[in-house]
Structure 1
Amino acid sequence: MHKTPIIFDTDPGIDDAAAISILLTNPAFDVKLMTSVAGNVTVDKTTTNILKLAHFFNRQDIKVARGAEKPLVKKFEDASHIHGESGMPGYDFGEVQTTILDLSAVDAMVEVLQSSPEKVTVVAVGAFTNIANLITQHPEVISKIERLVVMGGSLSGGNMTSVAEFNVFTDPDAAKIVFNSGLDITMIGLDVTLKALISGDTVAKLQGANETGRMLTAMMAFYGDNEETGKPMHDVNTLYYLLHPESYQLVDYWVDVVTDGPAIGGTVADIRHAYHDKHNVHVALGVDRPAFEQWFIAAIGQISDEQINMGKVEI
């Protein structure tokens, strides 16, 4: 079985934790590096949260590097009102024994890309600050990136403003650099992540499935991101897309990022091809929700308690 080599850039975050739970336990993924970025909470907290999850899943082999502590230009605004002050409340992971590399996120990415015998897939599920810094500071390694899959953006409305999705809103200048980089980019945004919801019944099944399910549902009790028919697991969609692209409907567009004014953080597609005769992003606009939900339950349910370092649900 060929494993996909992955660099995973993240800002945990409760839905990030769900994605990382699958990333670190699915044999289809060869995790070369995980990098933190300021987003849902500060970079100190997102780094700690990656280490907590690497410890929980007994993955001392995972390389972790600390990334950008603030956006390129815009003032940093976190989402602790959605994810709790720590980013991952509700579960005590115990004494964490994993540590970070003595390298910045960008330097660690360069090392991984230069040393890899094959091209690496980069998955970015937080603000795109680290990826933008990699592109601008080390253009020589761009050719070693197979493709970039991002959770971010929206063509149908935002969750920070009427137009802006959180990850792009957090660092729109970085998102603009990334979208204009020439990389093969797939945008998994709110157009699909607000459709791929997990219902209350699914949450109940997760709680009874195993310790990983208990850990995630303990966090979900504090998760402030709710839709009428369920909770969005935004970042999990990037991994589901990599494994099951047939469940998504993609359209190729040229997408621009608004970097100032009242629409800052907006992602605007040239749908009428009025300004561009080519595309820079594959945009996901549709998803098979039932298939996503069934896969998510199965992906968490297959994680054996023997694989993990158990903590305890916080009261």
Structure 2
Amino acid sequence: MIIDCDTGVDDALALLFAVRHPGLELRAVTCVAGNTDVDGVVRNTLTVLDQAGAPDIPVARGAERPLIEPARPARHVHGQDGMGDLGLPAPARRPVDVDAVTLLRREILGSPRPVTLIPTAPLTNIALLLRTHPEVTRNIERIVFMGGTAGTGNATPVAEFNVWHDPEAAAVLLTAGVSITMYGLDVFTRVVVPGADVQRLRASTEAGARLAGELLAHRPAGPDPDGDDPSGGLGDAGAVCAVADPAGLGTRRLPVEVALAPGPTRGQTIVDRRPRPGEAEIHGGIREQTLVDVGLDVDVDRYVRLYLNTVEG
């Protein structure tokens, strides 16, 4: 698999899991602007891999802004450095000397087995890859992306941050012609690590497990993060759990499109859950929509146990 990320607190949780799960082979990590600027994303990604004791995994710098709009970082969520302002050391490793799209093409086409691509970020790099090198789809088994929602958004009332940050790129993703799973806010917010487990991780003497605890503590799931139960949301890491253990994610194959027009619905993932066509289709024809496996249910306990067992070893 390959992760495309905007590291970010919960992207970091995803990376920690990915490098420690014995059934996952992380071939590369590509970085894009999102939670913080792209240079900060590269730095954060390299730091996490250091802390996790990861092997020499290639990391590449990608797009520094969306296809059309300016970058709009989420530092109010992830801290000024994008990693919860935890004061982590500068990374010892360095990124490769090629850009993200070049690395993605090389690693996908060079893999002896089809690759699962896991974007946990705005989809700018993925859109550029698909438009520049469409031949990569012949060796992509599935794209499991963290993004979108069938219900309430977080960036706007109807749009999730990763899709809202670059809606055009998300629309390009839906033309990929490969199997797509949407791990959206409908399941994203539900996978929560209990406070006792977070505290145990924070007290660990092993660097990677301790970092997971500090990151989870920065992502409080309850209204009182300093209270008796400082539980933390796994966020993006749940998408990687869904690759490692697909049976824990309940999906429905549904038509999905992205709203691109200016205004309050821009960036919305329109998930058609109706049992039959409506008047708009009857009178105006059927719009071309992509069928996506949309995550609507998740076995929370299963993924929490999976994450903790993997990160703690």
Q: Same fold (TM over 0.5)?
A: yes
Q: Secondary structure in 2 aligned to 1:254?
A: strand
1:46-101 CA deviation, whole Å, 9 max, x = no partner?
Answer: 01111111222333510010011000012221110000010113544434221111
| 230-239 or 183-192: bigger deviation | 230-239
Q: Is the 8 A contact 1:90 1:218 kept in 2?
A: no
Which residue in 2 is equivalent to 1:232? 233
Which residue in 2 is equivalent to 1:15? 10
| 57-66 or 76-85: bigger deviation | 57-66
User: What is the alpha-carbon root mean square deviation over aligned residues?
Assistant: 1.9
| 143-152 or 110-119: bigger deviation | 110-119
* Structure 1 letter corresponding to 2:212: L
CA–CA distance in 2 between the matches of 1:172 and 1:58? 35
Q: Is the 8 A contact 2:15 2:48 kept in 1?
A: yes
Query: Equivalences for 1:100-119 in 2 at 5 Å?
Result: 100-119=95-114
Q: Are residue 282 (structure 1) and residue 293 (structure 2) matched?
A: yes
Match of 1:158 among 153, 169, 176: 153
1:236-266 CA deviation, whole Å, 9 max, x = no partner?
Answer: 1111111221111100011010113211111
Match of 2:201 among 201, 206, 218: 206
Q: Secondary structure in 2 aligned to 1:68?
A: coil
CA–CA distance in 1 between the matches of 2:58 and 2:233? 28
Q: Are residue 75 (structure 1) and residue 86 (structure 2) matched?
A: no
Q: Are residue 291 (structure 1) and residue 306 (structure 2) matched?
A: no
CA–CA distance in 2 between the matches of 1:127 and 1:191? 18
Q: Is the 8 A contact 2:53 2:208 kept in 1?
A: no
1:5-34 CA deviation, whole Å, 9 max, x = no partner?
Answer: x11101111111111111112221111110
CA–CA distance in 2 between the matches of 1:36 and 1:218? 22
Q: Is the 8 A contact 2:175 2:290 kept in 1?
A: no
Q: Are residue 142 (structure 1) and residue 171 (structure 2) matched?
A: no
Which residue in 2 is equivalent to 1:96? 91
User: TM-score, structure 2 length as denominator?
Assistant: 0.89
Number of matched pairs: 296
CA–CA distance in 2 between the matches of 1:60 and 1:201? 30
| 58-67 or 210-219: bigger deviation | 210-219
Identity %: 33
* Structure 1 letter corresponding to 2:303: F
Q: Check 1:134–1:174 CA distance in 2 against 1; reply closer, same or farther (3 A cut).
A: same
Q: Are residue 254 (structure 1) and residue 250 (structure 2) matched?
A: no
Gaps of 5+ in 2: 224-228, 278-285
Deviation of the 1:199 alpha carbon: 2.5
Which residue in 1 is equivalent to 2:226? none
Q: Is the 8 A contact 1:252 1:279 kept in 2?
A: no
Q: Are residue 173 (structure 1) and residue 137 (structure 2) matched?
A: no
User: TM-score, structure 1 length as denominator?
Assistant: 0.88
1:172-218 CA deviation, whole Å, 9 max, x = no partner?
Answer: 11001101222210000110011112232221232234432322333
Q: Is the 8 A contact 2:60 2:100 kept in 1?
A: yes
1:214-245 CA deviation, whole Å, 9 max, x = no partner?
Answer: 2233334444x644584322211111111221
